[in-house]
Amino acid sequence: AQKVTQAQTEISVVEKEDVTLDCVYETRDTTYYLFWYKQPPSGELVFLIRRNSFDEQNEISGRYSWNFQKSTSSFNFTITASQVVDSAVYFCALSVPGYNFNKFYFGSGTKLNVKP
Amino acid sequence: NAGVTQTPKFRVLKTGQSMTLLCAQDMNHEYMYWYRQDPGMGLRLIHYSVGEGTTAKGEVPDGYNVSRLKKQNFLLGLESAAPSQTSVYFCASSWAVSYNEQFFGPGTRLTVL
């Protein structure tokens, strides 16, 4: 069975602090894909990153970085020097091929509050 | 490109009323999806479609019907709305492979009184 767990329901930080959002996934498949989405207060879901199971290289994009560790089945997301605009709900998702459609398994989301 | 659009953005229904939510995408995606988002539960898949004229059930299909008569449109119907269907509904679309991200619409906030 596939599952994504985001144990942190809500996190509050002060602007300029670094913050890490945790994502733990479960799957028995060797080929899979992991995603992060951002849902700002306006409501739409914005795609941030995709990672495949064969690429464990960490990725950095500006203030955002992602740490993928197969050994711990984790795909954590770090925001460096957080800003108020980072306040949003962040979702981690897992996709596994072999189905007849592109099924996503979403975590329950982590709400990030960045205070000025 | 408009991407994925949803109509309407907000709606209030009384118990027992019916309505249809419209989703349209202009990216020529094969796959389309309807999700509902409830507090603390993430996104749950209601129905999906892998192509024009096809639909299938997701995790929480009861009380909903869908149709995909045209590739670019995916309709979600509530025949007899119930308060348990109060939620935010998202439509999404994607290419037909699992490594592709899903593109989401802006959502429809539905309240059933």
Alpha carbons A10 and B23: distance in angstroms, whole number: 31
Domains and CATH numbers, chain A: 3-110 (2.60.40.10)
For residue B10, the model assigns a pLDDT of 96
DSSP class of B113: -
Q: What is the CA B2 to chain-centroid distance, rounded? A: 17
Per the CB < 8 A criterion, the answer to whether A99 and B51 are in contact is: no
Strands A104-106 and B31-37: unpaired
Judged by CB atoms closer than 8 Å, whether chains meet at B105 and A44 is answered as: yes
The per-residue pLDDT for A100 is 65
Given B31, B42, B90, which is nearest A102 (Cβ)? B31
Give the nearest partner residue to A50 out of B43, B88, B101, using CB atoms: B101
- B30 lies within 8 A of chain A by CB: no
Nearest CB among A45, A102, A106 relative to B98 is that of: A102
pLDDT at A98: 66
CB-based contact B94 A103, cutoff 8 Å: no
In this structure, what DSSP letter does residue A97 have?
B
Give the mutation candidate from B4, B89, B98 for the A interface (greatest A CB count, under 10 A). Answer: B98
pLDDT mean for each 10 residues of chain B (113 residues): 92 96 96 92 91 92 96 96 97 84 95 97
Q: Average pLDDT, whole number, for chain A?
A: 93
Low-confidence stretches of chain A (pLDDT < 50) are none
Q: Is B92 exposed, middle or buried (0-12, 13-18, 19+ CB in 10 A)?
A: buried
SS (H, E, C) B25-38: ECCCCCEEEEEEEC
- pLDDT given at position A56: 85
How far apart CA A39 and CA A24 sit, in angstroms, is 19
- The verdict on a CB contact (< 8 Å) between A107 and B107 is no
Position A83: which residue type?
A: Q
Cβ-based contacts under 8 A for chains A and B: 59
